[in-house]
Amino acid sequence: MRVLVTGGAGFIGSAVTRTLLEEGHEVTVLDNLSKGFRALVPAGARFLEGDLRDEERLPGWLRGHDAAIHMAAFIEVGRSVEEPLVFAENNILNSVRLLQAMHRAGVGKIVFSSSATVYGTPRSLPIRETDPLGVQSNPYGASKVATEAFVATYNQLYGMDALILRYFNPYGPNELHEPETHAIPNFVRAVLEKRPVPLYWKGEIVRDFIYVDDLARAHTAVLGLTGLQYYNVGSETGTKIIDVVRQIFEIAGYETAVDDLGERAGDVAATYAWSRKIAEATGWQARVPLREGLARTVEWYRSRM
């Protein structure tokens, strides 16, 4: 299959691109490098440095592909509160530009990178795809809800196959965000640099961590599906944040201090996935246990120091 990956020079996008190539697909990466890194694009992928705002050239870049995997988005929650218009433009309007260009270019399938944040505060656990979407506490989450709606609209209007993946908490090597807002890379970097580990809620919050290579495989697993489909992508295991920190200490071979940051507005006490739907549809399941994934992640960060 010929697949175009938007944001394919980023943390997750580069892993998706690598998985696509390993499975024999032809891949084009489209990235403006505002957040991605050219060095992360795997050899074998065609690379286009371009922007989704370029409405004139976008259909030409898409033409000839069988599917698009859409991962280009801003993800910093705090920044989304400070700059909601920037997030609306980049995450929502650029997604609509992509959908319209796909329609014009005859590309009839999209895999959209969404987030478990669309559920808001869960009413029950584990979270299922049939659970209602929740009120959002920040523009980042609102941008995911809005883009999901536009993706579904293009399915209804034009019969575009729309596979929406709701990620839980990805982690792993090659995460180079600056500033870094995700928990695990901040914990690992703090431990390796022997700084205090920043911790909210005394680490009692529960999250579902999914290793980046497992997450990447979910994108290729759904490529053969049709229609409008929503899938949770998680490990189906909830882990307390403090237990993640303890495992990082064990892997590093020493402990550092903990910086107790208290409570943080907007945090949900616990989230973890029910991912049986994607397993039943495709055979996909998470393979990398948290301890193994953390060890790989610590080793990668250690190799960069």
The pTM assigned to this predicted structure is 0.95
pLDDT at position 182 is 85
Buried-state track 225-238, b at ≥16 Cβ within 10 A, e below 16: beebbbbbbbbbbb
Is residue 289 reached through a cis peptide bond, with omega within 30 degrees of 0 on the bond before it?
Answer: no
**What is the tens place of the pLDDT at every residue in 67-123?**
999 999 999 888 999 999 999 999 999 999 999 999 999 999 999 999 999 999 999
Q: With 0-12 CB in 10 A as exposed, 13-18 as middle and 19+ as buried, what is 303?
A: exposed
Contact present, 110 and 99 (Cβ < 8 Å): yes
pLDDT at position 237 is 97
What is the average pLDDT across 128-139?
A: 94
Q: What is the pairing mode between strands 239-240 and 206-207?
A: antiparallel
Range in 23-27, 85-89, 179-183, 279-283 the model is least confident about:
179-183
What is the average pLDDT across 135-163?
A: 97
**Quick one: tokens of 217?**
């495989």
Residue of 119, 140, 154, 171 marked active site: 140
User: Across-strand partners of 171?
Assistant: 211
Domains of the chain: residue spans and CATH:
2-171+210-234 (3.40.50.720)
What is the average pLDDT across 122-136?
A: 95
What is the average pLDDT across 120-134?
A: 95
Q: Is 158 a catalytic residue?
A: no
Q: Confidence class of residue 201 from pLDDT cuts 50, 70 and 90?
A: very high
Contact present, 121 and 105 (Cβ < 8 Å): no
What is the average pLDDT across 243-253?
A: 98
**What is the tens place of the pLDDT at every residue in 23-75?**
999 999 999 999 999 999 999 999 999 999 999 999 999 999 999 999 999 99
pLDDT at position 77 is 87
Contact present, 67 and 107 (Cβ < 8 Å): yes
